Amino acid sequence: MLANANIPMLKSDAPNLPGHTKNGRFKRVSSGVTSATPYHQLITTADAESTEQTLIKLLHNHSTETGWIVLVAPPRLPSKALAEYFKLPVDKMLIIHPKALRNIEKTLQSLLQSTHCRVVISFCTSLSNDSTAQLNQQATTQQRWFYQFQQPAMPAH
Are 62 and 145 a contacting pair, CB within 8 Å? yes
Q: What local confidence, expressed as pLDDT, does residue 38 receive? A: 55
Q: How far is CA 55 from CA 25, 109, 137, 141, in A?
A: 23, 21, 22, 24
Torsions phi, psi of 69, nearest 5?
-110, 115
pTM for the predicted model, two decimal places: 0.72
Q: What local confidence, expressed as pLDDT, does residue 15 receive? A: 37
Assign 3-class secondary structure to 40-90: EEEEECCCHHHHHHHHHHHHHHCCCCCCEEEEECCCCCCCHHHHHHCCCCH
Q: What local confidence, expressed as pLDDT, does residue 94 receive? A: 94
Element at 141 (helix H, strand E): helix 129-142
CATH number of 38-150: 3.40.50.300
- DSSP single-letter state for residue 152: P
Q: How far is CA 147 from CA 30, 116, 144, in A?
A: 11, 17, 10
Reported residue count of the chain is 157
CA 75 from chain center: how many Å?
13
Task: Report the distance separating Cα 33 and Cα 90, nearest Å.
Answer: 20
Q: What local confidence, expressed as pLDDT, does residue 7 receive? A: 36
Q: Over its length of 157 residues, how does the chain's per-residue pLDDT go in tens digits?
A: 333 333 333 333 333 334 444 444 444 433 444 444 557 888 888 888 888 899 999 999 999 988 999 999 998 888 889 889 989 999 999 999 988 888 999 999 999 999 999 999 999 888 888 998 899 999 999 999 999 998 665 444 4
